[in-house]
Amino acid sequence: MAKIGINISTGSLQKEEMIVGIDLGTTNSLVAIIHPETGKPIALKEHNTSSLVPSIVHFGQNNVTVGEQAKQFLITEPQHTIFSVKRLMGKSYNDIKYNASFFTYKVIDDDTERLVKIQVGDKFYSPIELSSFILKELKERAEHILKTSIKKAVITVPAYFNDSQRQATRDAGKLAGIDVLRIINEPTAASLAYGLGIQKNEEKIIAVYDLGGGTFDVSILRIVNGIFEVLSTNGDTYLGGDDFDQAIVGFWLQQHKIVQEEYIQNKELVQRFRLTAETAKKHLSAHEKFSTDLDGKNITISKSEFEQLIQPFVIRSIECCKTALKDAALDKTDINEIIMVGGSTRVPLIKDSVSDFFGKRVHIELDPDEVVALGAAVQADILAGNNKDFLLLDVTPLSLGIETMGGLMDVLIPRNSKIPTKIARQYTTQKDGQASIRISVYQGERDLVKDNRKLGEFNFSGIPGMPAGLPKVEVSFFINADGILIIKTKELRSGIEQSIEVKPQYGLTDEEVEKMLLDSITHAENDIKVRAVTEAKTEARQIIDTTENFVQKNREYMKEEEINSVGIAIDELKEVMFTDDKDTIQKKIGILNDISRPFAERVMDAAVSFAMKGKKV
Ligand code: ADP
Ligand code: MG
């Protein structure tokens, strides 16, 4: 079988351009890339610092800071220090009113149905703007480390994010000067970072246990041939490492008999206790005991004391896992892989409890607080076209089809078809003895191929000589799990065949896809008219060809006046054929048909009886 590679690298993406992966987290955010030499994903960091940037924005007198610096003001300047803004993305005040006390800064509550605004001093900010401050900081850091400008990114969101939350995330990217090529689910990213689902012909059920700073999510995914499907999600939007810190603070207050009310008055002290508690917690992930001096007091906590404190949270998270399994109609033994995500899964008790529950080892080989960003980088690399063997797609964003007579688009695979998918359709020749057919492949929603995007074309040749309309040329479109379109053409009578491959989505950004869809709606009315006229003209040309052919071959069986009247009808049709008057064209086709039908039938009968006579019965 002949294979012809088609170069469709007309897209807007350039290979040299760096596309980064961004985990825009509730507590921490970070950027990852594929290392140009090793080909492995790595999180970006400056020398001797963490890759994590706290998702906190502080508004000072004359400047805005993001990250570790902003975190210092969390307790001392609550009205000017914005944390957990991810919780507000795409939300109205009504959505969050029961948790309003969680936000120590001012969330505006007068326009309860509209998207929330946050007031800082005399200025108002949307969660999108606040997120864009974080993204801008990440972009600048990455540019500083990589010494190149960053314009494109893949950003992750929780699997349960709805359309408006995803859109808000996209908009935040745009505001930060980033072209967001794709929004992907955090658990999907985590799986990609572990290379799960990249293999073809692989079917896996994966549980992703994500315990971050303030939120807990568990997702059950199924990966079949590179397609990720979210079977269920569960979690608790107010459960995370911050609760562990609070529990430790409570423990110390008791230890030193500090009165809660007095303690709360002293913002500086609260801040120091909180930050020390976090340090202690992290320390206990690797040691048996923590002790330090704070405010003249010796404070301590042991690993087992800590584990006792967090036991209720562990139980709550396991309950969520049970519900997620139930919703996915699965048993815990159905789970093939368990991935640990989020800084809080570093706590040994968490790892062990999850492992015990599923009865399996859990994945912790990759840094749990980097794994989502690493996966986003893997996806970015795929989109950049560097990872040619793999294209992550689950549905076709645009219709795929071929050009038929008159430049019309004949759709074989409609948009939004689930992949992999396959369809075949039959076509035939227009002329007697025609030996080849040109197959032009297009992507788009418009009726005329000239308005769509050409993916490639090829000549299907070697069709054995046959009268027009007799060859049966089957064109089949197959999109495999990698999003590669394989086109096969086969003449069914002779069995000759040919196939080609194209990558339908390569080089198209989501925005371009959206524009193509929008155009198809705007032009729909005109397109329908043009299609009708084109179809009428095509039909006219075909009937003229067939009739002229017929008359030429069968003159001897026809009367002189019949030949004349057919000639007149053909001329009249030819006269109107080049106008755009569909109705008149169709009327003239009707007249020609009416005139030629009686003698056509008579001649056919004669031909049949002639054939019969020739046969020995
Ligand atoms: P998010 O996804 O919500 O942005 P992360 O995945 O960055 O959050 O997790 C942040 C949480 O992980 C914080 O509560 C932090 O204290 C906790 N954490 C980070 N490292 C450790 C560690 N070594 N041991 C225990 N907890 C940790
Ligand atoms: Mg996270």
Does residue 605 have a pLDDT over 70? no
pLDDT on residue 231: 87
On the question of pLDDT at 404 being above 80, the answer is yes
How many other C-beta atoms lie within 10 A of the C-beta of residue 300? Answer: 13
583 is catalytic: no
212 lines ligand 1 (CB under 6 A): yes
Percentage of the chain exceeding pLDDT 90: 48
Backbone torsions φ then ψ of 434, nearest 5 degrees? -60, 125
- What percentage of the chain exceeds 70 in pLDDT? 90
Structure tokens given for 31: 């950027």
Q: Considering the chain, what is the average pLDDT of its residues?
A: 86
* pLDDT (0 to 100) of residue 617: 38
Q: Is 19-194+366-383's fold the same as 526-612's?
A: no
Q: How many CB atoms lie within 10 A of CB 209?
A: 32
Is position 519 annotated as part of the catalytic site? no
Which tokens go with 301? Answer: 């906590």
CA dihedral angle for residue 499, residue 505, residue 506, residue 508, rounded to 10 degrees: 150
Catalytic (active site) residue 186: yes
**Is the separation of the CB atoms in 202 and 174 below 8 Å?**
no
Spans of all domains in the chain:
19-194+366-383, 200-365, 400-509, 526-612
Pick the catalytic residue: 129, 137, 171, 186?
Answer: 186
Whether domain 526-612 has CATH 1.20.1270.10: yes
Which CATH number among 1.10.645.10, 1.10.443.10, 2.60.34.10, 3.90.1150.10 corresponds to the domain 400-509?
2.60.34.10
Q: Among this protein's residues, is 351 annotated catalytic?
A: no
- Residue 177 to residues 54, 132, 170, 172, 384, Cα–Cα distance (Å): 20, 9, 11, 9, 18
- Mutational pocket test of ligand 1: of 369, 370, 371, 372, the residue with most ligand atoms within 8 Å of the beta carbon: 369
Q: Comparing C-alpha atoms, which of 159, 226, 229 is closest to residue 197?
A: 226
- In angstroms, the Cα distances linking 506 to 14, 383, 431, 487, 509 are 11, 8, 36, 17, 9
Testing ligand 1's pocket by substitution, the residue of 29, 45, 275, 282 carrying the most ligand atoms inside 8 A of its CB is 282
| CA dist list (Å): 159 to 132, 205, 392, 479 | 21, 16, 16, 26
Instruction: Decide if pLDDT at 388 tops 60.
Output: no
Angle between helix 560-577 and helix 582-614 axes, rounded to 10 deg:
140
Ligand 1: which residue has its CA nearest to atom 5? 212
Provide the pLDDT confidence category of residue 503 given band limits of 50, 70 and 90.
Answer: low
Name the residue at shortest CA distance from atom 12 of ligand 1: 343
- Reference 249, options 277, 228, 220, 211; nearest CA is 277
Written out in words, the top-level CATH class of the domain with range 200-365 is alpha beta
Ligand closest to CA 25: 1
Residues with CB under 5 A from ligand 2 (ion): 25, 212
Q: Bridge partners of 292?
A: 299
Helices (H), 176-302: 186-193, 241-255, 260-265, 267-284
C-alpha pair distances (Å), 417 with each of 264, 394, 413, 512, 556: 57, 9, 7, 19, 54
Q: Is 447 in the pocket of ligand 1 (CB under 6 A)?
A: no
Give the model's pLDDT for residue 443. Answer: 86
- SS3 for 376-445 is HHHHHHHHCCCCCCCCCCCECCCCEEEEEHHHEEEEEECCCCECCEEEEEEECCCCCCCCEEEEEEEECC
The identity of residue 572, as a single letter, is E
Which of 322-326, 389-393, 456-460 is predicted with the least confidence, judged by mean pLDDT?
389-393
**From the CA of 29, which ligand is nearest?**
1
At 507, the pLDDT band (50, 70, 90 cuts) reads: low
CB 48 within 8 A of CB 25: no
List pLDDT tens digits, range 564-593.
999 999 999 999 988 888 899 999 998 988
Single out the catalytic residue among 137, 171, 210, 243.
Answer: 210
Please report, as a single letter, which amino acid is at residue 161.
F
Architecture of domain 19-194+366-383: 2-Layer Sandwich (3.30)
User: Greatest CA separation found in the chain?
Assistant: 121
Point out the ligand 1 atom lying closest to the alpha carbon of residue 28. 4
pLDDT, tens only, 246-260: 999 999 999 999 888
Most confident range, picked from 148-157, 254-263, 553-562: 148-157
89 or 505: which leads in pLDDT: 89
Query: Which residue spans within 444-578 are E strands per DSSP?
Result: 453-461, 473-479, 485-491, 497-502
Question: Is a pLDDT exceeding 60 seen at residue 67?
Answer: yes
pLDDT classification of 616: cutoffs 50, 70, 90 = very low
pLDDT tier for residue 5 given thresholds of 50, 70 and 90:
very low
pLDDT in tens, 70-87: 999 988 899 999 999 999
381 in Cβ contact with 375 (< 8 Å): no
Q: Rounded mean pLDDT of 407-418?
A: 84
Q: Dump pLDDT digits (tens) for 37-60.
A: 888 999 999 888 899 999 999 999
Residues 220-239: tens digit of each pLDDT:
998 877 778 888 889 998 89
Kindly state the average pLDDT of the residues 470-489.
Answer: 82
**Digit-coded pLDDT (tens) for 9-39:** 333 333 457 899 999 999 999 999 999 888 8
Query: Ligand 1 centre and the CA of 131: distance in Å?
Result: 19
User: Quick one: CA torsion of 216, 355, 232, 241, rounded to 10 degrees?
Assistant: 0
Taking the C-alpha atoms of residue 16 and residue 62, their distance in angstroms, rounded to an integer, is 38
Q: Compute the distance between CA of residue 136 and CA of residue 143 in angstroms, rounded to an integer.
A: 10
Q: Classify burial at 336, counting beta carbons within 10 Å of its beta carbon; exposed 0-12, middle 13-18, buried 19 or more.
A: middle
Query: Quick one: pLDDT at residue 554?
Result: 81
The pLDDT value recorded for residue 420 is: 73
Ligand 1 probe mutation, 22, 26, 27, most atoms within 8 A of CB? 27
One-letter identity of residue 606: A
Q: Which residues contact 256 (CB under 8 A, 6 or more apart)?
A: 297, 299
Length of the chain (residues) = 617
Question: H/E/C letters for each residue in 218-229?
Answer: EEEEEEECCEEE
Q: What local confidence, expressed as pLDDT, does residue 15 receive?
A: 40
Q: Is the CB of 87 under 6 A from ligand 1?
A: no
Q: What is the pLDDT of residue 8?
A: 34
Span 184-205, average pLDDT: 87
